[in-house]
Amino acid sequence: MAMTESPLDTSNIDQEQLLASAEKGTSLWADAWVRLRKNRLALVGLAILVFLTVVSILTPWIAPYGYEVQDLALGASAPSREHWFGTDIFGRDLLTRVMYGGRMSLAVGFVATGVALVIGVLWGTVAGYAGGRVDAVMMRIVDILYALPFMIFIILLMVVFGRNILLLFLAIGAVEWLTMARIVRSQVQSLRKQEFIEAAYSLGLSRWRIIHRHLIPNTLGPVIVYTTLTIPSVMLLEAFLSFLGLGVQPPASSWGLLINNGVETMEEYPWLLIFPGLALSITLFSLNFLGDGLRDALDPRASKD
Amino acid sequence: MAIWRRVLTPLICLWLTACGGGETNVEMGNREKILQFGNRTEPQELDPHIVTGIPEANIIAALLEGLVAKDPKTLEPIPAVAERWEISDDGKTYTFFLRKNARWSNRDPVTARDFVWSWWRALQPALGNQYAYMLFVIENAEAYNKGDIQDFERVGVKALDDHTLEVRLTHPTPYFLQLLDHQSTYPVHRGTIEAFGAPDQRGTRWTRPGNYVGNGPFVLTTWQLNKIIEVRKNPYYWDADNVRLNGIDFRPIENVSTEERMFRAGQLHITQTIPIDKVPEYRKNNPGVLQVAPYLGTYYYRFNVKKPPFDDPLVRKALNLAIDRKAIVTSITKGGELPATTFTPPDTMGYTAESDLRFDPEEARRLLAEAGYPDGEGFPVTDLLYNTSEGHQKIAVAIQQMWNQYLNVDIKLNNQDWKVFLNSVNLGDYDIARAGWIGDYVDPNTFLDMWVTGGGNNQTGWSNPRYDEIILKLAPAADTQAERYALMREAEAILLDELPVIPLYIYTSKSLIKPSVHGIYGNLLDHILYKNVWLSDADGNK
Amino acid sequence: MFKFTLSRILQAIPVMLVVVTVTFFLVRLAPGGPFDAEKAVPPEVLRALEANYNLDLPVWQQFTHYIGDLLQGDFGPSFRYPGRSVNELIAAGLPASAELGFYALLVAIVIGILAGIISSLRPNTAQDYIPMSAAMIGICMPSFLLGPVLVLIFGIWLEWVPVSGWGDIPGDKILPALTMGSAYAAYIARLSRGGMLEVLSQDYIRTARAKGLPERVVIFKHALRGGIVPVIAYLGPAFAGLLTGSFVVETIFQIPGLGRFFVQAAFNRDYTMIMGSTIFFALLIIVFNLLSDIVAVWINPRLRHQTQGG
């Protein structure tokens, strides 16, 4: 097959250069920032995310109403001058609830994904790099965790530890890292035999150094992409778990929960679905553009172009 | 690429034919006289002596028939397998005269011996019949079921001949005839059950289509899991001439929104319920298809009276007075529910308890201060427990806010998965917990006998000797209904004064029914007499 | 390759053993039993019920009984549905779920990979943004939202397709397949775009281009093979998930599949059904993860050498 031969055509100088740039970690990130700044969409995404984060942090001071203040007589009302996003069936201000919901969703999204990311990348890299028996054992553990009944696991967590926001992160992180580990492992496996890794090996670099200087940076592309996919699924999983009683307890809320409730009444009170839905979508689009921008900017090979 | 052709061609065909429209289930049902029935969940079983749920009862009522049925409007007893009956002067002995033309769907006659055998089976301890207690009003039935006596001869049921059945009761029981329309007292076909296993064996194949032998207006023809149960007219039913439907299709539809959409799209004649937020919409734009009726059930919160501060009646009363029930039923449940001021729904067979439950935040604050928590100060953080469900959550959120607003007490909401919730309540591991009670029959007893000391459904830890005395001794032995009701009113007054539970509202049953369906009336038990139902050709809704 | 497959099959045995044992004890740890109900069950009835299903025995005896039955391929009777065996319930739900999963996968792979390739060819242009935005919408729209929205538009307002059912009315399979497939399509699109970008910047692709091979050949013959590696790793568990059905989609569209049984089993504490569904799902996970690893090797020959070693 032609492509297995093709790497032979590349000169070793390329490999040396690559190795050198990857070694200089700081310049890699500095280069990336320079490249990221040229990507306008990624910057817009970043700006929106920063804005949303700031709003979330300031919410308790800038929210127009209290998130739990009810006006049962008012009930669900359409957007108006007093309530820009309208009110829910309890007469609570939806703008306020979307703002508070964002705090929850962003926190869960970033923290739980972060947990999944760290475990998944480490696990996948080690398994893929080590190969052989270690790989087999590690990946069979992943299989086992996939197979265990998630619902029972959640119910037990709730019973043993009670309601706790930390548990929510734990539960979500525990399931989301599995696919991440599989993806990273498959990526590492295909990288391991590539010339620049072998070159690094022959230069006498330690295993750990190879893993963390060369393998992990080179798997960043799919990892970033999968991360931008994990954040929305984590936010939606949070809605499901909160509904089951793990995590957010009413009257507090999150975007996932607001959307979940909005679906039920989308014909009667569409604004209860539209506004939280928009908030979630805008966040995810921003994340996505930023993720793509980062992916391109961090590509170790991009410097050659 | 044969595989592609095999997959894509049908897909494309589906796309093309999809837009053709075609006949809806309702149109087909109107033409063929087959009722399209939305039935909530997949039935666990169709054995009348095992099942407990309403979806199961809905299907079994089409397949089997008891001694007595209920009038679909008034719920008064009407003759079914028994043509007529006599009650002795002391009200303890009932003699049923069975109609000679009552037949099983395999043409065997239905005899008094069938009932004796069926009730013997229903009382077998190994069968694990959770509704065996419906028969406990019969002399010695409870002792037999619990294994205290072994000889079934001593249980008060006897076939005097093939068509005469004598039943002896422990006490005069005014609601006894009603129990005879409950599935746990239905007859089952002995030959069929014995052909598929021991009489007290659970889950044999006798309930499968083709095996099931019943004595009701319909026979079971199809049972596809999670999809459909079809019953068709039983030609050997004694009153087959008056059965106007040719069949019923029961569809297990768990999601209420899906059920409502299927109704709108003409796939169902009748639904079991309706999404809460759609009620005002239907009220306004399509009131003809919406049927709302008071239902024999109470939604309430129970206190754990063993746990401070809820061991103090003042605290319970204060919390009760700070609940605006009217706001809950108008703004949250929205289905015409009645704010509850008593535990037994008003006018249950002519019984209404006296009560002064009301909304009075002033008085509530005063009582809470008297209990030692002026302005909610020092009131411990309290868990309000409910099982995971949108509806329960909404009510809890509203009440949490009311207690916070009027009493300045801090309530934490805690929802648990259904089985965990049952476990917590059962173990007394809660502060305040949501509950609901649906009466088994139309009589105050089904709402009051649960609160006796140590009653299986009490679960509050509450106990009152006078209450126990009335419910267990005095009321059952009362000579007249008036005397009995007076005693029960006294008992309920004790309950409402000490408030181990706070009743919130009286349920309503809510269904969507196509205009082509006739003969279904809203009643306290949401009871339908299928042989009374008929379909007209025109569907006024379309 | 044969050796690799064989060793993976042998590895499946301890995996299954762990899954069976852990699940068996886990479900019994969860509070609430299979027979708890709204109206309190009298103690003597409860005892009769428990004796009926061997739940009165010590747990380790229950376990050995269960393993004994399991080795004969018997998952035992369902606690929730007294007349049904777990084998029967799975057999009843599998056809609908598998068929739905197959259509959904078809939707997901065809749309997902095409969108991924299209946008990877001209990154950061409209040709990239439009398919990727569509994919983002697919991800943002969870099935509990997408399903009702599609039903409302195409089922109720336009009356093009039935609102529910499975094989009852022509066209009733379209919306469920789209609803279920779209989320997977979105994932696959994003993953394949990332994978393709990774590969397209590699030297052998440049070489292939430099050799003057037609772009079509370069992309579909050379780049795609490497580009879908992350997709294949994702597809293993995804496929198992698709086959065992989706609770949400099956509930919205009234489909008699496995997903409803699986989720309800956990809520009902139907111990045998939880065990049966977990074992069934574990088998699928093992098989499809193995298949996806084999396919990854087959597609990317660079891996071959090393998997033979391990």
Tell me the pLDDT tens digit for each residue of A246-287. 778 888 888 988 988 888 888 889 999 999 989 988 888 888
- Sheet-wide strand order for B164-168: B82-87, B93-98, B164-168, B157-161
Regarding predicted confidence, which is higher, B105 or C262? B105
> What six digits make up the tokens of C63?
């376990």
CATH of the domain at C113: 1.10.3720.10
Tell whether C127 is covered by a domain. Answer: yes
Regarding predicted confidence, which is higher, C129 or A86? A86
Tell me the pLDDT tens digit for each residue of C191-228. 888 888 878 877 788 888 888 888 888 888 778 887 88
Closest by Cβ to C18, choosing from A139, A144, A288: A144
- Compute the distance between CA of residue B398 and CA of residue A183 in angstroms, rounded to an integer: 46
Q: What is the pLDDT of residue B538?
A: 61
Q: Which residue of A has its CA nearest to C271?
A: A152
Q: Is the peptide bond before B345 cis (omega within 30 degrees of 0)?
A: no
Distance between B415 CA and the closest CA of chain A, angstroms: 5
Q: What percent of chain A has pLDDT over 90?
A: 19
Tell me the pLDDT tens digit for each residue of B516-530. 999 999 889 889 999
Distance between C74 CA and the closest CA of chain B, angstroms: 17
pLDDT at C69 over 80: yes
* A positions 242-261 inside 8 Å of C (CB): 259-260
Q: What is the pLDDT of residue B436?
A: 93
Beta carbons of B231 and B63 less than 8 angstroms apart: yes
Tell whether C81 is covered by a domain. Answer: no
Whose tokens are 């009336």? That residue is B521
Tell whether C39 is covered by a domain. Answer: no
pTM higher than the cut 0.95? no
Q: What is the mean pLDDT of residues A208-215?
A: 76
Helix/strand/coil percentages in chain B, nearest 5: 35, 20, 40
Tell me the pLDDT tens digit for each residue of B54-68. 999 999 999 999 999
Going through B255-381 in order, the beta strands assigned E by DSSP cover 290-303, 338-339
Beta-sheet pairing, B432-438 with B382-387: parallel
Nearest to C46 by CA among B126, B512, A9: B126
Tell me the pLDDT tens digit for each residue of B238-254. 999 999 999 999 999 98
**Alpha helices, DSSP H, located in B19-140:** 25-32, 54-63, 112-122
B509 CB-near residues (< 8 Å, 6+ apart): B273, B291, B292, B293, B294, B295, B522, B526
pLDDT at C91 over 60: yes
Closest by Cβ to C161, choosing from B18, B129, B146: B18
Q: Is the peptide bond before A251 cis (omega within 30 degrees of 0)?
A: yes
Indicate the helix (H) or strand (E) that contains B436. Answer: strand B432-438
The SS3 of residue C44 is helix
Confidence tier at C301 by pLDDT (50, 70, 90)? low
Distance between A165 CA and the closest CA of chain C, angstroms: 20
The SS3 of residue B387 is strand
Beta-sheet pairing, B228-233 with B247-251: antiparallel
Beta-sheet pairing, B290-303 with B501-512: antiparallel
Tell me the pLDDT tens digit for each residue of B273-285. 999 889 988 999 9
Of A294-303, B395-404, C300-309, minimum mean pLDDT range:
C300-309
Tell me the pLDDT tens digit for each residue of B133-184. 999 999 999 999 998 999 999 999 999 999 999 999 999 999 999 999 999 9
Residue spans per domain, chain A: 30-302
Mean pLDDT of chain B: 91
Q: What is the pLDDT of residue A301?
A: 59
- Cβ contact, residue pair A131, C289, below 8 Å: no
pLDDT at B379 over 90: yes
Beta carbons of A284 and A231 less than 8 angstroms apart: yes
Q: What is the pLDDT of residue B17?
A: 47
Chain A interface, mutation test: which of B386, B410, B416, B434, most A Cβ atoms within 10 Å?
Answer: B416
Beta-sheet pairing, B77-79 with B68-70: antiparallel
Q: What is the pLDDT of residue A8?
A: 33
Tell me the pLDDT tens digit for each residue of B442-458. 999 999 999 999 888 89
Q: What is the pLDDT of residue A27?
A: 58
Q: What is the pLDDT of residue C275?
A: 92
ipTM: 0.87
Q: Which chains touch A (3 or more CB pairs under 8 A)?
A: B, C
Sign of CA dihedral B271, B273, B275, B281: positive
The SS3 of residue A50 is helix
Cross-strand bridge partners of residue B233 = B218
Cross-strand bridge partners of residue B438 = B297
Beta carbons of C223 and C200 less than 8 angstroms apart: yes
- Compute the distance between CA of residue C238 and CA of residue C288 in angstroms, rounded to an integer: 9
Of B458-462, C33-37, C93-97, minimum mean pLDDT range:
C33-37
Tell whether C47 is covered by a domain. Answer: no
> What six digits make up the tokens of C225?
């093979």
Tell whether C49 is covered by a domain. Answer: no
User: B398 phi and psi, to 5 degrees?
Assistant: -65, -45
> What six digits make up the tokens of A78?
């359409």
Phi-psi group of A162: left, alpha or beta (phi > 0 → left; psi -120 to 50 → alpha; rest → beta): left
Beta carbons of A232 and A242 less than 8 angstroms apart: no
Range of the domain at C194: 86-309
Decide which of 3.40.50.1000, 3.30.450.40, 1.10.3720.10, 3.30.200.20 is the CATH code for A30-302. 1.10.3720.10
- Around Cβ A62, how many Cβ atoms within 10 Å? 11
Q: What is the pLDDT of residue B21?
A: 52
- Cβ contact, residue pair A158, B420, below 8 Å: yes
Assess A73–B contact: CB distance below 8 Å, yes or no: yes
A282 CB-near residues (< 8 Å, 6+ apart): A48, A52
Q: What is the pLDDT of residue C304?
A: 56
Reported residue count of chain B is 542
> What six digits make up the tokens of A167?
């548990």
pLDDT at A14 over 50: no
Assess A149–B contact: CB distance below 8 Å, yes or no: no
Q: What is the mean pLDDT of residues C240-249?
A: 81
Establish, for the pair of chains A and C, how many residue pairs have beta carbons separated by less than 8 Å. Answer: 194
Regarding predicted confidence, which is higher, C163 or B513? B513
* B positions 189-248 inside 8 Å of C (CB): 202-205, 207-208, 224-227
pLDDT at B465 over 70: yes
Separation of first and last alpha carbons in chain B: 46
Beta carbons of B123 and B107 less than 8 angstroms apart: no
Q: What percent of chain B has pLDDT over 70?
A: 95
Confidence tier at C63 by pLDDT (50, 70, 90)? very high
Of A102-106, A224-228, B29-33, B193-197, minimum mean pLDDT range:
A224-228
Q: What is the DSSP letter of B348?
A: B
- The count of structural domains within chain C is 1
Whose tokens are 């921003």? That residue is A286
Tell whether C74 is covered by a domain. Answer: no
Q: What is the mean pLDDT of residues C235-257?
A: 84
- Cβ contact, residue pair A284, C204, below 8 Å: no
Assess A158–B contact: CB distance below 8 Å, yes or no: yes
Tell me the pLDDT tens digit for each residue of C150-201. 999 999 888 888 888 888 888 889 999 999 998 888 888 888 888 888 788 7
- Cβ contact, residue pair A190, C226, below 8 Å: yes
Q: What does the radius of gyration of chain B's CA atoms come to, in whole angstroms?
A: 26
Whose tokens are 């739900």? That residue is C93
Tell whether C227 is covered by a domain. Answer: yes
Tell whether C106 is covered by a domain. Answer: yes
Nearest to C268 by CA among C32, C6, C90: C32
Confidence tier at A26 by pLDDT (50, 70, 90)? low
Regarding predicted confidence, which is higher, A278 or A195? A278
CB-count burial class (<10 Å; 0-12, 13-18, 19+) for C181: buried
Nearest to B401 by CA among A92, C294, A107: A92
